[in-house]
Amino acid sequence: MKNKAIRICLVAMALYLILGVAFYFIAGDSLHATANSIETVTAKASLGEFTAGEKIRQSFVCEFDELTSISLLVGTNARENNDMILVEILDENGQAVIEPIRMATAKLKDNTAYTVVFPTPITEARGQRFVLQLTSRYGAPKNAICFYYGNSVDTGRFDFNTQIDEADALCVYEGDKFVPFKDTEGNICQLCLSLNGTDNHWFGKYYWFLYAGGALLLLLGLAYQYLCFQKGKKTLILSVALSIQKYSFLIRQLVSRDFKSKYKRSVLGMLWSFLNPLLTMSIQYVVFSTIFKSTIPNFIIYLLTGIICFNFFSEATSMCLVSIIGNASLINKVYVPKYIYPFSRTISSGINLLLSLVPLLIMLLITRTPITPAILLLPFALLMLFFLSYGVGLLLATMMVFFRDTQFLWNIFSMLLMYMTPIFYPDTIIPDRFMSIYKLNPLYHVIRFMRSILIDGVSLEPKAYLYCAVLCLIPFLIGLVVFRKNEDKFVLNI
């Protein structure tokens, strides 16, 4: 027993040390900085041939910590143009911030974005106003490229005319000064342009300090737990560890019962765990890709991730909901810690979730989505989802004992939650002013996290981990406290 305790402590410590290092390399650059990109407007029309002597200016406010490049939408009129465009970035006072870049136009492709990378990124750029100035050197009629302008933003299904500020207007050089460019309807317009930059995170910079600090805390914590264990004093963590050990056999039996009785007398049995998410995905895929014309890239994986997560959450919570009243006969006759019942139900749904990752993996391979080491971060999202579901399950199980209306209310609420979670639509359709409420949904963060590592193959910024963990663990703690406070009254009410 004593040796075992020491072994557990050592394993915990080793796990922390290994996972901490592994995490640093798997999460990679996104711990230090995340790449961001902002597009201005959707192309509406061309500015016409950009010939020698012409100059245009586009002012913009940088929203990144560092500005690394800009992409310009260019048209070549389907021919080779031998011009040289001077790209300059000026600050508000008209001083050059970077060395002017010469952009040769000979090899440009028609109607594509050309990225101009700065020799050195512009640092400390956040919130600053810059001016992009483009000048043609040798452009002549029939030997010049053109740029595009617009005054609307594409949000997937509709174009929204945007109110462009005087300060953000595209200006052309006329006579001896720059004047705002107006389209045929007299509207102020913007140059079609996207700004690319990075946001820096302090987390990556101080990662190893935090890592060492965490190791120290863990060491002290383990030492404290071990001392308590030797003295026979009970701490929360210790009693959790002991009861997991004591009741692991029971939990295994209850989980296997859930599985056996779920698939008993069905022909396909376990296969349903694979088929269910796939079939749901197929239906929604057909509906949303043909009827609603979704423009989300890699929509199959996008959908499947959302469906799998939400299915687990809804299955686990609704199974937890009835776990106490459903086991009334047992609770009345034998003493077993009551949190075991919702726990075993969440575990069985969790196994279902793991099984449904198999079709997800197959779809990843079929759609040729590149699989990167970032996929190793998946357990974090799954663990958070597990805590969230268990916590909500505990809360619901408690409420269900006292108020049987809970099950009907929960049916409605989980439907509401389904529409409040970006399962089949992109989160960009949510208006900005609702976004802060929308982001309170823990499922949003978990699903966003999973999509980032599966579809984009990169980890999200460090803040995303924090949001994910906090929003999932708060419901868990609330559920746990409410359950523990009321569990003694269950016997009298079921």
Partner 1 sequence: MMIKAENITVCYRMANDKIQSIKEYLVALLKRKLKYDEFRALQDVSFEIEKGEVIGIVGSNGAGKSTLLKVISGILRPTTGSVTLEGNVVPMLELGSGFDFDLSGRENIFLNGAILGYSEKFLKEKYDEIVEFSELGEFIDIPVRNYSSGMIMRLAFSIASQVVPDILIVDEILAVGDAAFQEKSYARMMELMSHGTTVLLVSHNIDQVRRLCDRVIWLDHGKVVAIGETEELCDAYMKTQQR
Q: Which residues bind partner 1 (CB under 8 A)?
A: 249-250, 252-254, 256-257, 260-261, 264-265, 329-336, 403-405, 488, 491-492
For partner 1, which is the closer residue by CB, 230 or 266? 266
For partner 1, which is the closer residue by CB, 158 or 335? 335
Contact 66, 125 (CB under 8 A): yes
Min dist CB 271 to partner 1, Å, is 19
For partner 1, which is the closer residue by CB, 256 or 428? 256
Min dist CB 9 to partner 1, Å, is 24
For partner 1, which is the closer residue by CB, 142 or 257? 257
Query: Six-digit token pair at 124?
Result: 């400390």
| Residue 329 CA, distance from chain mean position | 43
For partner 1, which is the closer residue by CB, 262 or 439? 262
Min dist CB 336 to partner 1, Å, is 6
Min dist CB 481 to partner 1, Å, is 18
Nearest to 313 by CA among 475, 127, 151, 87: 475
Min dist CB 230 to partner 1, Å, is 22
Min dist CB 26 to partner 1, Å, is 36
For partner 1, which is the closer residue by CB, 16 or 263? 263
CA-to-CA distance for 215 and 338, rounded, in angstroms?
A: 34
CA atoms lying within 13 Å on the CB side of residue 402 = 10
For partner 1, which is the closer residue by CB, 152 or 346? 346
Q: In what order do the strands lie in the sheet with 177-180?
A: 101-104, 84-90, 129-136, 55-61, 170-174, 177-180
For partner 1, which is the closer residue by CB, 156 or 326? 326
Pairing of strands 146-150, 66-75: antiparallel
CA-to-CA distance for 277 and 285, rounded, in angstroms?
A: 12
Distance set, CA 379 to CA 14, 311, 350, 363 (Å): 18, 17, 12, 19
Min dist CB 225 to partner 1, Å, is 25
- First-last CA distance in the chain: 38
Q: Which residues contact 381 (CB under 8 A, 6 or more apart)?
A: 446, 449, 450, 453, 468
Contact 55, 135 (CB under 8 A): yes
Min dist CB 394 to partner 1, Å, is 18
Min dist CB 266 to partner 1, Å, is 12
For partner 1, which is the closer residue by CB, 123 or 256? 256
For partner 1, which is the closer residue by CB, 329 or 436? 329
Min dist CB 482 to partner 1, Å, is 16
CA-to-CA distance for 199 and 178, rounded, in angstroms?
A: 32
For partner 1, which is the closer residue by CB, 334 or 365? 334
Min dist CB 6 to partner 1, Å, is 23
